Amino acid sequence: MPEPSRLTPVAVMILATLREGDMHTYELVRLLKERRDDRLVPLQKGTIYHTVARLERDGLLAEVGVDRDGNRPERTTYTIREAGHRAVEEWVRAELPQIDRPSDFRVALSEAHNLDRAEVVDLLDARRALLLDSLDEHRAGLANAAERETPEQFLVELQRQSALLDAELAWQDSLRARLADRSLAWGIAEIPEHIKKKHRVSKETTP
């Protein structure tokens, strides 16, 4: 199985979607775009088809049938393999605590529900420590600049990043609290059945 870090965000999103049920590539493309997952990464049809083929070669998903509807081209249906399940979890586990790859973090966060609640809390705690270190560094830089009477016009980017880090910490602390006190439903098992049907969620993917 490929190293989790070598999986692209698109590959992770494809595998995570297949955790919900078997489907053909056309349905994958439609569902990912319907859910506006292209907010996170570019989702070109050709890239998705190429990635599905690579994931099959790597043993992370497998063909389970070929359908033909009238004169339409044949459509191959895929299922995720056990190695694919592990790959999603390991990639999210590796990327969720990071602060230096914002785009990958967004994908990891969107797929964090594939991990157990307690593990997500621990990973967010590890990320919080990195955020605090970065915030301290930015604040020290601003203080040093003030001592040197650096014109504020040269510091606006530093000020912005400090403000963003403050907001990120506040948001993450709120999320962690809701996970810890269980006020936030987490995992497929905690989603009401009528909501699962509405969003086409069909498999138990979280312990």
138: CB partners within 8 A, 6+ apart: 158, 161, 162, 165
Bridge partners (DSSP) listed for residue 78: 23, 63
pLDDT digits (tens, 9 = 90+) for 39-93: 898 888 888 999 999 999 999 999 998 876 656 667 889 999 999 999 999 999 9
Point out which residues pair with 66 in neighbouring strands: 76
Q: Express as a percent the part of the chain with pLDDT over 70.
A: 87
Rounded to whole angstroms, the Cα distance separating 103 from 180 reads 25
Q: What is the pLDDT of residue 93?
A: 96
pTM comes to 0.84
What's the residue count for the chain?
A: 207
Highest CATH level, class, for 4-110 = mainly alpha
